[in-house]
Structure 1
Amino acid sequence: MRHLSYRPCVGIALFNPKGEVFVGRRRSKRVLDPALAGHEWQMPQGGIDPGEAPRDAALRELREETNVSSVTLLAESPRWLNYDLPVDISKRSWRGRYKGQTQKWFAFRFEGQETEINILAPAGGHKPEFAAWRWEAIERLPELIIPFKRAVYESVVADFRHLADMPAS
């Protein structure tokens, strides 16, 4: 049996000046399991390219998924966070090479105007990841995410919760 590793990724908590966090509802061609309805929201995330620094990957992924580049770094998670994909998904995703993802999370303050956010035609001509977006209270994030990612989101909330109360400069 082959030992699968974790795919190295980044996750981004993008805070607006009111302390709310950007969430996007994932686009999906598949019919969503009714039991998962309401759990299709997530923060931007994506893979780290070979030789790319995690912070650079976070800025790139944020731009590719939301078109946002007007940001200030607030914090970096103190550790890498892992989650395992359910077996049926891991066989379909990334050609079955990974059992899940290991993520380094970054918190950024959005410094631009909301007109900068464009999930339907993001920077670089990338395929849209999200069908809709909104600002959300950070405490609600674990209940919005697909259950197999919930523990990661609980850790991100614990690490970044204090940033929601920081006034924008």
Structure 2
Amino acid sequence: MDFGLYRPCVGIMLVNQDGLVFVGRRRGKKIPEHLRTGHEWQMPQGGIDEGEEPYHAALRELREETNVSSTSLLAESPDWLSYDLPPDLSRRSWKGRFLGQRQKWFAMRFNGSENEINIASPDGGHKPEFDAWRWESIDRLVELIIPFKRAVYEQVVENFRPFAKPSR
């Protein structure tokens, strides 16, 4: 799998029993103000380690960002989705090695109780990625994400909309 100038990543649409989607508010003072205000909410995502299968990376990233492990797989995106970072960010992120990210997305059902979610001290002692979280309607996901990721989120919403329904 040759990604060239795109960092290989996974993304997770975690859907609860009510059909709502997990979003976390990105923490960090290093995020430029124009990207923070109103666009700081996103679904869990992260890099694929060398030799790691995308689904296993998704499970690992979900644990590292949310502490969640009580899931079942609903679907995998049929294609890899990519976005470019704005030029000012691409020079600073990942030491300028990547123009953006190419992502494989997974829809997962959250089967646990909410006390399993722990963004302050996620699995493995990883540094927290989020400083707040909530369940959100699938219809609001695109407006919450930073503009350069919107096309990816539009495709994810289109692919996974059938799974964002109550399962009770």
Structure 2 residue 51 is the aligned partner of structure 1 residue 57: no
Question: What do residues 7-36 of structure 1 show as CA deviations (whole Å, max 9, x unaligned)?
Answer: 000000000000000000000113642575
Change (3 A) 1:90 1:78: same
Which 5+ residue runs of structure 2 have no aligned equivalent? Answer: none
How many residue pairs end up in the alignment? 165
Question: What do residues 113-157 of structure 1 show as CA deviations (whole Å, max 9, x unaligned)?
Answer: 100000000000000000100000011100000000000000000
Which 5+ residue runs of structure 1 have no aligned equivalent? Answer: none
Alignment of 1:1-169 (within 5 A): 5-30=5-30, 32-34=32-34, 36-165=36-165, 167-168=167-168
Q: C-alpha distance in 1, partners of 2:131/2:43?
A: 13
Q: C-alpha distance in 2, partners of 1:25/1:166?
A: 24
Structure-1-length-normalised TM-score: 0.94
Superposition RMSD in Å = 1.3
Question: Which secondary structure state, in structure 1, belongs to the residue aligned with residue 149 of structure 2?
Answer: helix
Q: C-alpha distance in 2, partners of 1:52/1:34?
A: 34
Q: C-alpha distance in 2, partners of 1:15/1:127?
A: 24
Between the aligned residues of both structures, percent identity stands at 69
Question: Which secondary structure state, in structure 1, belongs to the residue aligned with residue 91 of structure 2?
Answer: helix
Structure-2-length-normalised TM-score: 0.95
Q: C-alpha distance in 2, partners of 1:20/1:34?
A: 27
Change (3 A) 1:130 1:72: same
Question: What do residues 57-76 of structure 1 show as CA deviations (whole Å, max 9, x unaligned)?
Answer: 00000000000000000000
> Once superposed, which parts of structure 1, at least 4 consecutive aligned residues long, lie more than 3 Å away?
none
